Amino acid sequence: MPSFNKSSSPPPIGVFDSGIGGLTVVAELRRALPLERILYLGDTARVPYGGKSAETVTRYSREISDLLLSEGAKMIVVACNTASALAVPTLAPAYPVPMIGVLEPGAAAAVKATRSGRIGVIGTRATIGSEAYSKAINSLNPDLSVTAIACPLLVPLIEEGLFDDEVTKTVLQRYLDPMLSQGIDTLVLGCTHYPLLKKAIRTICGDGIQLVDSAENCAIAVNSLLAAGSGNARGPRLDILLTDSSEGFLRIAEKSLDLKIDSLSVRSVGN
Chain-centroid distance of CA 257 in Å reads: 14
163 and 197 Cβ atoms separated by less than 8 Å: yes
Q: What is the 3-state composition of the chain as percent helix, strand, coil, each rounded to the nearest 5?
A: 45, 20, 35
Burial class (CB in 10 A: 0-12, 13-18, 19+), 47: buried
Quote the CA–CA distance of 226 and 15 in Å, as a whole number.
Answer: 15
Is 191 an active-site residue?
yes
The answer to whether the Cα torsion of 215, 133, 39, 54 is positive or negative is: negative
DSSP 228: I
193 and 19 Cβ atoms separated by less than 8 Å: yes
Is 80 an active-site residue?
yes
- Cα–Cα distance list, 206 to 62, 176, 203 (Å): 39, 12, 5
Residue from 151, 191, 205, 218 carrying the catalytic annotation: 191
Q: How many CB atoms lie within 10 A of CB 96?
A: 6
Residue from 80, 151, 205, 218 carrying the catalytic annotation: 80
Mind telling me the catalytic residues?
80, 191
